[in-house]
Structure 1
């Protein structure tokens, strides 16, 4: 599978990775799915301490136990959970970031994480303290690179100016084109890579869209708007790609995007996503046509 560089780092990731949030808690099934991904060319696996209260990291760690050197492993921290407290709470403090990383290492059964990401963030955060934590973890050899997982343009701009992030993970798809307005070109100019999550819009941009489209639609789209976009997408995709492949190729078409990480909970979903590696890339004319049938939605609440 084609591999792309993450930012200016020495990390090269498969253009299609595996996001593990929807992996589930069945250990054997999860391990099997991860192995199937690796056997089919994936080298980028993304998890987080937040997923299933750490059990997701444990499954990923077990799956990678004998294959660690061939994988670019990413995880995230910044959400804090304590016994006796109600739910997770946001904690971007230096103390928590460093403690969370070490707990993740134990669950993942590794002594380093290739890409460690801040799992959220607001403009009110103590960013210098957070950045200092990541820089120290990198100096200590516990992480190779760091990034943020954020859709907030104002937060992203601050990290571009104040840190050495290699990546920004954000939701990006034909149905969520918010990053195009003010973020993708800026990141590309600063040689910071995008990890695109949600490229299939919760399954609505797949060949099973009729089962996946919800009554309340998606972002600013009504249910019928979504169905209309997918219908037009199906007509324009050409004979050499299906809807899934076209949607993934759309997210990968922008030069800032290094990898897409569609989730999968079943082998059939995983393999359907991975066929994209053999599907032709989109031409500039095709990208333009897909933009004409969808909305150039913008960031509103999330700033």
Structure 2
């Protein structure tokens, strides 16, 4: 599988990454899914301290222990579980980030984290303080690179202006083209990579779309518009490639995207996603067709 550089970090990630949130807590099953990902050429594994109260980090770290130097392990910080473990609060403070990283390192069973990401963020946060924490962790060798998971234009601009982030994770798909209007051009210009999530729009962008609840529409699409678009895409590509492949390749057609982070609850899903990413790239004409028929939206809030 092809790899792309993560920002200016010197870290190269596979074009498909495994989003580990959906692995569950069955160690044997999770191990099987991760081994399948490795066999498919995936080297990027994305978890968070929030997932399953940290159990996800333990499972991921254990499963990747035998290939630690060959993979890129990413995790996230900022959501702080309460003592009852029935809710969490937002804490992007320097003190908490530097405390939480130690816990993540212990759960993962590693000496360093390749990519440490802030799991959200608002413009009201003490952004300078958060950046200071990440920069210190990088200087101390506990992390190799840092980034944020955010769709908020004002937050993204501040982290690019004040810090040295290498990545931004955000939702992006044919049905959610909002990053194209501002975020992707801005981040590409500043040599910050985009890690995309939700490329299949909760499974709507697949050949099984008639089975999905499209009667509720999706973002800017009402049910009628959504069905019309899916039929148009299906008609255009049916003889050449399945819809989920079109959706994955649409993400990769943007030079600012380094990796698609897709979850999987089975080895079969991993193989299907990997096959879609390894398929031939979309032609310029195919990309233009998609952009002609799909809405180009923008983020109205958090300006």
Q: TM-score, normalised by structure 1?
A: 0.96
Map of 1:190 onto structure 2: 190
Change (3 A) 1:56 1:223: farther
Q: Contact 1:213 / 1:227 at 8 angstroms: preserved in 2?
A: no
Whole-Å separation in 2 of the counterparts to 1:51 and 1:290: 34
List per-residue Cα deviations over 1:226-264 (Å, max 9, x = no partner).
222222111222634211111000011111001101111
Show the counterpart of 1:201.
201
| CA deviation profile, 1:14-52 (whole Å, cap 9, x unmatched) | 111111112222221111101110111100111111111
SS of aligned partner of 1:173 = coil
Distance 2:53 2:231 in 1: 39
Verify the 8 A CA contact 2:248 2:277 in the aligned structure 1: no
| Structure 1 residue 222 displacement after superposition | 2.2
CA distance in 1, matches of 2:86, 2:196: 31
Q: 1:234: which partner in 2?
A: 234
Task: Establish whether residue 217 from structure 1 lines up as the match of residue 203 from structure 2.
Answer: no
The one-character-per-residue Cα deviations of 1:66-85 (angstroms, maximum 9, x if unpaired) are: 11111111110011112147
Q: Verify: 1:286 aligned to 2:286, yes or no.
A: yes
1:19 maps to which residue?
A: 19
Query: Partners in 1 of 2:214 and 2:43 — Cα distance?
Result: 32
Q: Gaps (5+ residues) in structure 2?
A: none
How many residues end up aligned between the 2 structures?
303
Distance in 1 (CA, whole Å) between partners of 2:98 and 2:225 is 44
The match for 1:138 is 138
SS at match of 1:277: helix
| Conservation of the 8 A alpha-carbon contact between 2:249 and 2:277 | no
Alignment correspondent of 1:118? 118
Question: Is the Cα contact below 8 Å between 1:240 and 1:280 reproduced in 2?
Answer: no
Hey, what does 1:295 align to over in structure 2? 295
Q: CA deviation at 1:300?
A: 2.5
Instruction: Answer whether contact 1:234 1:243 (CA < 8 A) is retained.
Output: yes
Unaligned runs of 5+ in 1: none
1:69 is matched with which residue? 69
Pick closer, same or farther for the CA change 1:277–1:86 going to 2, 3 Å.
closer
Q: What is the DSSP-based 3-state SS (H/G/I as helix, E as strand, rest coil) of the residue aligned with 1:17?
A: strand
- Please provide the CA RMSD for this pair: 1.4
**Corresponding residue SS for 1:65:** helix
Structure 1 SS opposite 2:207:
coil
Distance 1:223 1:72 in 2: 39
Question: Using the alignment, how far apart are the partners of 1:185 and 1:26 within structure 2?
Answer: 40
Match of 2:169 in 1: 169
Contact 1:74 1:116 in 2 (8 A): yes
Give the 3-state SS of the residue equivalent to 1:66 in structure 2: helix
